[in-house]
């Protein structure tokens, strides 16, 4: 490990589409807030992304865009390690070992696997089923303490814990037990068109998600069209999932509590409220978008950050994998 007393937080996002405000609120924004307290290691999970079909040119472009976005959101490349998953070969190597202590039945029960298998019925590949094992390898290689993710990823962090415990039991203490780190607010932002489903970057309906790259007019239009109930009262409630979701988004972007937001919109109708949500989101995103554009114009800088990140990640990952190979009895020469 690098010389530090701080606990390690590890997370990643797949470069599988345009990032939504769900990804931002549920993950990247929280990493930025936690980077002083923890040693942060953040990957661009391109090996996970190819478990569904990707266009190679787009995958390559999105990888750099995501790196620029991590930086534009405020991750400090000196304090944190930012790297591309496929550049550290230990991820694939540890996955193979962990595969041998993971059961097919466990993987078949994973919610995300079931959802994605239903959605991509023509491409239920081994990688899609193995996705959680690769994610466990990511987390365990870096002796991670905390994994800040949105609520949908909790099950995957739990299976990583099960796999770690199983390995430690069988071969002796090797991995640290990671814990999911899920924020009380904004861990599950819902689709604007169907508030019973999570907002997702791979939704076919562009009006369901607000993308970090959307301009102000588009953002305002999408919120205006968001599906809500018709009682015209801005208040969070179980039977008002649309408005409850918009309130969560508003609080995350305006930086206020639910009670404050409800008070601010007392007596106001949905039209005013939706406009305010759109404005709060657009105003927060504008500087991030400008910074991302600026960074993308400087490819040499971005490549430098990622190659330095890959080297730092490699040094940690190699140590862990060496230990694993030793424990399981792999021949290592003399
Ligand atoms: P895809 O649709 O391609 O599966 P996704 O939008 O679900 O992608 P991921 O790359 O799987 O995004 O997730 C990146 C991070 O964003 C994870 O930490 C995940 O928990 C979080 N996240 C994704 N969607 C939401 C959401 N709607 N609300 C809060 N957090 C989210
Ligand atoms: N599966 C995650 C992305 C991911 C991840 C990780 C998150 C890949 N490896 C390790 C945390 C830790 C997702 O967000 N869909």
pLDDT in tens, 80-133: 999 999 999 999 999 999 999 999 999 999 999 999 999 999 999 999 999 999
Distance from Cα 31 to the centre of ligand 1, integer Å: 14
The reported pLDDT for the residue numbered 186 is 85
Mean pLDDT in residue range 217-229: 97
Mean pLDDT in residue range 151-174: 97
Q: Is 201 a catalytic residue?
A: yes
Pick the ligand that lies closest to the CA of residue 149.
1
Fold designation for 7-182+298-328: Rossmann fold (3.40.50)
Catalytic residue from among 6, 201, 323, 327: 201
**Domains of the chain: which residue ranges?**
7-182+298-328, 216-293
Q: Which CATH number does 216-293 carry?
A: 1.10.240.10
Is pLDDT above 70 for 173? yes
235-266 burial by CB neighbour count: b if 16+ within 10 A, else e?
A: ebeeebbbbbbbbbbbbbbbeeeeeebbeebe
Q: Is 198 a catalytic residue?
A: yes
Distances (CA, A) of 91 to 15, 99, 310: 17, 12, 12
Pick the ligand that lies closest to the CA of residue 15.
1
Q: Which residues pair with 147 in a beta bridge?
A: 180
Mean pLDDT in residue range 31-42: 96
Residue of 26, 47, 50 to test ligand 1 pocket, by largest number of atoms within 8 Å of CB: 26
CA 100 vs. chain centroid, Å, equals 26
Q: If you search the block for the tokens 């290691």, which residue do you land on?
A: 41
Q: What is the mean pLDDT of the chain?
A: 96
Ligand 1 neighbour 278 (Cβ under 6 A): no
Distance from Cα 153 to the centre of ligand 2, integer Å: 7
Pick the ligand that lies closest to the CA of residue 133.
2
Catalytic residue from among 116, 222, 240, 274: 116
Which residue owns the Cα nearest ligand 1 atom 26?
Answer: 22
Is pLDDT above 60 for 164? yes
Distance from Cα 48 to the centre of ligand 1, integer Å: 13
Q: Residues 112-116: contacts with CB within 8 Å, 24+ apart?
A: 112/152, 112/155, 112/156, 116/51, 116/52
> Is the pTM higher than 0.85?
yes
The reported pLDDT for the residue numbered 333 is 85
Ligand 1 neighbour 29 (Cβ under 6 A): no
Q: CA-to-CA distance for 306 and 292, rounded, in angstroms? A: 15
Q: How confident is the model at residue 284 (pLDDT cuts 50, 70, 90)?
A: very high
The reported pLDDT for the residue numbered 1 is 52
The reported pLDDT for the residue numbered 5 is 82
Distances (CA, A) of 130 to 203, 265, 269, 303: 22, 46, 47, 29
Is pLDDT above 80 for 3? no
Q: Is 268 a catalytic residue?
A: no
CB 21 within 8 A of CB 199: yes
């Amino acid at each position: 490990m690098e010389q530090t007393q701080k606990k390690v937080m590890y997370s990643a996002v797949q470069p599988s589409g345009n990032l939504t405000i769900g990804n931002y609120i549920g993950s990247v924004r929280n990493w930025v807030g936690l980077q002083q307290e923890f040693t942060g290691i953040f990957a661009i999970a391109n090996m996970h992304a190819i478990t569904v079909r990707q266009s190679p040119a787009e995958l390559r472009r999105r990888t750099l865009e995501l790196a620029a976005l991590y930086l534009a959101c405020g991750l400090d490349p000196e304090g944190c390690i930012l790297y591309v998953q496929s550049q550290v070969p230990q991820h694939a190597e540890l996955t193979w070992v962990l595969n041998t202590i993971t059961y097919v039945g466990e993987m078949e029960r994973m919610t995300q696997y079931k959802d994605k298998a239903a959605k991509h019925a023509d491409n239920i590949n081994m990688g899609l089923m193995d996705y959680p094992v690769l994610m466990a390898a990511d987390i365990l290689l870096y002796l991670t303490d905390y994994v800040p993710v949105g609520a949908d990823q909790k099950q995957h962090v739990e299976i990583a814990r099960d796999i770690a415990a199983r390995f430690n039991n069988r071969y002796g203490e090797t991995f640290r037990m990671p814990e999911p780190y899920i924020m009380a607010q904004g861990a599950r932002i819902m689709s604007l068109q169907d508030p019973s489903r999570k907002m997702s970057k791979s939704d076919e309906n562009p009006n369901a998600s607000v993308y970090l790259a959307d301009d102000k007019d588009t953002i305002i239009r999408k919120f205006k069209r968001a599906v809500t109930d018709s009682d015209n009262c801005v208040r969070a409630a179980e039977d008002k999932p649309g408005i409850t979701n918009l309130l969560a988004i508003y609080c995350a972007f305006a930086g206020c509590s639910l009670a404050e937001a409800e008070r601010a919109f007392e007596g106001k109708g949905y039209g005013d409220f939706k406009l305010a949500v759109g404005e709060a989101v657009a105003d927060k995103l504008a500087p991030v978008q400008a910074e991302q554009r600026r960074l993308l114009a400087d490819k040499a800088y971005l490549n430098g950050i990622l190659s330095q990140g890959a080297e730092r990640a490699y040094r940690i990952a190699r140590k862990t994998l060496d230990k694993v190979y030793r424990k399981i009895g792999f021949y290592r020469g003399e």
